[in-house]
Amino acid sequence: QAGGLTLNPFSKAKRLEYDHPALKEIESLVGLSEEALLKRQYQRAQATNQTNRAMEKEIELKELYLDAHGGMFNFQQCSVLRTPDEYASVCWIGKEAAAANMRVWSDKPIVQSLTEIDDPKVAKAAVRTFKSMLGFAGDKRFAYPDTLVTDIIGDGIGDEDLRVDIFAMIMKQLTQNPNQKSADRYWALLMICLLHFPPGPALENYVHIFIRKHAPGPYKEELTRQCHKAAYVNVAASPPTAEMIPELLSSAGIVDPRAARLSGAFNR
């Protein structure tokens, strides 16, 4: 003790003028904020080729950033999306209805891609992909809705711009969705997409915040984890078959919405 106070090992070493290289590093870390400390840990992990640890620290930094700046990433104000007027400009009639429904659930097909897509073929594919989503979610009748997942994921695997639009479509359909069964299917589709490809840098933070605000409680953690993981893995080589969906969702901690809804697991 010194002056009635118990000294920690670092303080004792300093008082005794004990010199060791590690002490300088410890001293440099004392008083650092959580963010600054995580950055140091991330840099050290990178420098020592600890890939998994570097990824963990980068994810923690991302979570801190979203805690502080999450208000910037509201889907309804997403800068990646077309404006409602621009979106509805291709309509000859019903412009007002198209503009009003652009960023909220609708059982009507989209009139064009939600985001700017330069390639006309890809932009056209976005409209087709949305129709597949309507069928998968039960918003439109389709004889074998589960088979549509293969088409949706296959489209996303094939084009980066279309992947961004797919995630935007899912968030649109989960906004003010009046049908719980339909919403269940879209949450499942979000997880299936994240298991096969990332939202991309332009939309990633919006997806994270959307999950934080709106995901069903029991699955928020799994969706968040997979959204982080998706940024670090390669895009899948091929889409899943309908038969693979239950196992995919189960392995990710998500109940297949086609099965019995256990204790209202998907209720918001």
Query: Average pLDDT in the 85-99 region?
Result: 95
C-alpha gyration radius of the chain: 24
The DSSP annotation for 54-120 comes to HHHHHHHHHHHHHHHHGGG--GGG-TTBPPHHHHHTT-SS-HHHHHHHTTS--SSPPSS-SB--S-H
Amino acid identity for residue 243 in this structure:
E
Answer yes or no: is pLDDT of 106 > 60. yes
Which comes out higher in pLDDT, residue 16 or 122?
Answer: 122
End-to-end Cα, the chain, rounded Å = 56
Question: What is the pLDDT at residue 173?
Answer: 98
Residue 263 has pLDDT above 60, yes or no: no
What pLDDT score was predicted for residue 80?
A: 95
Average pLDDT over residues 66-78: 94
Please report the domains of the chain, with CATH numbers, ordered by start residue. 9-71 (no CATH), 75-264 (1.25.40.530)
pLDDT interval class at 267 (50, 70, 90): very low
pLDDT in tens, 176-229: 999 999 999 999 999 999 999 999 999 999 999 999 999 998 789 999 999 999
Q: Is the pLDDT of residue 16 over 50?
A: yes
* Per-residue model confidence as pLDDT tens digits over 19-68: 555 545 554 544 545 556 555 655 666 667 666 766 787 788 889 889 99
pLDDT of residue 5: 47
Mean pLDDT of 254-267: 52
**pLDDT confidence of residue 15:** 53
Quote the pLDDT of residue 249: 83
Give the per-residue pLDDT at 98. Answer: 96
The band of 246, judged by pLDDT with boundaries at 50, 70 and 90, is confident
Q: If pLDDT is split at 50, 70 and 90, which confidence band does 154 have?
A: very high
Q: What is the pLDDT of residue 60?
A: 84
Tens digits of residue pLDDT in 127-141: 999 999 999 999 999
Q: Quote the tokens at residue 176.
A: 């003010």
What pLDDT shows up at residue 200?
94
Average pLDDT, the chain: 83
- 268: pLDDT confidence band, cut at 50, 70 and 90? very low
Average confidence (pLDDT) over 92-108:
96
Grade residue 10 by pLDDT with cuts at 50, 70 and 90: very low
pTM value is: 0.80
What long-range pairs does 106-112 form, CB within 8 A, spacing at least 24?
A: 106/172, 106/173, 107/134, 107/139, 107/140, 109/134, 110/169, 111/87, 112/82, 112/87
